[in-house]
Amino acid sequence: MDTRTAYLGILTELGKLNSAVALLSWDEETHMPKKGLGLRAETLGKLSRMAFELSTGDELGRCIEELEGCDDLSLEEAASLRVVGKEYRRNKAIPAD
């Protein structure tokens, strides 16, 4: 798998996880029965941890490093890479626990 494909795959998975977290959070605030709060909190915690681990993982770091060295990125790709690279470095400085 080439670096761009791996990078886009990671971003896609992050998008899915973050969408699930947002939907579950909204449901918790608007429609959730009180007896379901414990399981929902555990689920949100698990999904948030998964997203954090993916957003600070070595594979994403490798992709960012390799792509930052490319000179054939489109303007959109370069802008995305700047944002993701900044978030990666910021998140990497946060302890996982």
Check the CA dihedral 57-81-51-17 and report its sign: negative
Residue 97 is assigned to a structural domain of this protein:
no
Query: Cα(2)–Cα(48) distance, rounded to whole angstroms?
Result: 27
Per the structure, the count of domains in the chain is 1
Dihedral of alpha carbons 64, 68, 73, 75, sign: positive
Q: Which residue range forms the structural domain that includes residue 13?
A: 3-92
How far out from the chain centre does Cα 4 lie?
16
What local confidence, expressed as pLDDT, does residue 97 receive? 66
The tens digit of pLDDT for each residue in 14-57 reads 999 999 999 999 988 888 788 888 888 999 999 999 999 999 99
DSSP H stretches of helix in the chain? 3-30, 37-55, 58-68, 75-92
Global pTM reads 0.86
3-state secondary structure 34-48: HHHHHHHHHHHHHHH
The answer as to whether 77 is a domain residue is: yes
Q: For residue 15, tell me if it sits in a domain.
A: yes
40 domain-assigned: yes
Q: Note whether residue 7 is domain-resident.
A: yes
| 41 falls within a domain | yes
Rg (CA), the chain: 16
Predicted confidence (pLDDT) per residue in 71-87, tens digit: 999 999 999 999 999 99
Per-residue pLDDT, 55: 95
Query: Is the model's pLDDT at 94 over the cut of 90?
Result: no
